[in-house]
């Protein structure tokens, strides 16, 4: 049976996280179903000067716009056989809509299905600072078992580039689905060499 992961890419800054996640999963031989929002298209143009759909199509098995409500990932009968879902990056709007059960697009509908059937859902929040409203929304989802993973890179792996910092966040998100990878060097105590 194929190993399948759903990736959601919302319109928060940091669309590069989603692209790298899809590419990494492809290299690890996972089948991916990717849903993007219109906001994500605009952010990809602004931040990276790229056509997001064309870029995702290089690595993803299936790519859907947020209005494609008849896609397989809109049904819990399909996603029950997947490894889980990562929304990367997750905007505070998407966080709010999911936390309030608003299934107004494919990304939110898929995320709500993962919650409904108790499958792993990871939200990589890309916003700072977080106010009381965002924290309340995150807490309400965390109480349901959703993993809230802020895009806050660590430095113990001694990153040498922006790519290292991106890979750290993507790697942490994959860790939450128990996906083995080599995207970052894990904490190993005295394995870290001084400069």
pTM of the model: 0.95
Report which of 88, 83, 112 is spatially closest to residue 2, judged by C-alpha positions: 83
Q: What is the pLDDT of residue 62?
A: 98
Q: What is the pLDDT of residue 104?
A: 97
Q: What is the pLDDT of residue 1?
A: 74
Please write the tens of the pLDDT for every residue from 22-46.
999 999 999 999 999 999 999 999 9
Q: What is the pLDDT of residue 188?
A: 75
Q: What is the pLDDT of residue 192?
A: 47
Q: Give the residues of the chain that fall short of pLDDT 70.
A: 189-195
- May I ask the CATH architecture of the domain 4-184? 3-Layer(aba) Sandwich (3.40)
Edge-to-edge strands of the sheet including 31-36? 62-65, 31-36, 4-9, 84-90, 121-125, 147-148
Q: What is the pLDDT of residue 16?
A: 98
Q: What is the pLDDT of residue 187?
A: 85
């Amino acid at each position: 049976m194929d190993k399948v992961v759903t990736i959601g890419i919302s319109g928060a800054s940091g669309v590069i996280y989603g692209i790298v996640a899809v590419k990494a999963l492809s290299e690890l031989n996972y089948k991916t179903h990717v849903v993007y929002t219109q906001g994500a298209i605009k952010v990809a143009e602004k931040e990276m000067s790229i056509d997001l759909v064309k870029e995702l199509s290089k690595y993803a098995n299936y790519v859907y716009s947020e209005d494609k409500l008849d896609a397989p990932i809109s049904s819990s009968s399909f996603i029950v056989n997947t490894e889980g879902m990562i929304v990367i990056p997750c905007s505070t709007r998407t966080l709010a809509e999911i936390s309030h059960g608003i299934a107004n697009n494919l990304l939110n509908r898929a995320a709500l299905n993962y919650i409904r059937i108790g499958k792993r859902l990871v939200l990589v929040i890309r916003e700072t600072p977080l106010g009381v409203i965002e924290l309340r929304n995150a807490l309400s989802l965390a109480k349901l078992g959703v993993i809230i993973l802020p895009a806050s890179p660590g430095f113990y792996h001694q990153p040498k580039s922006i790519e290292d910092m991106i890979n750290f966040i993507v790697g942490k998100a994959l860790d939450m689905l128990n996906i083995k990878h080599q995207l970052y060097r894990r904490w190993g105590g005295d394995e870290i060499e001084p400069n």
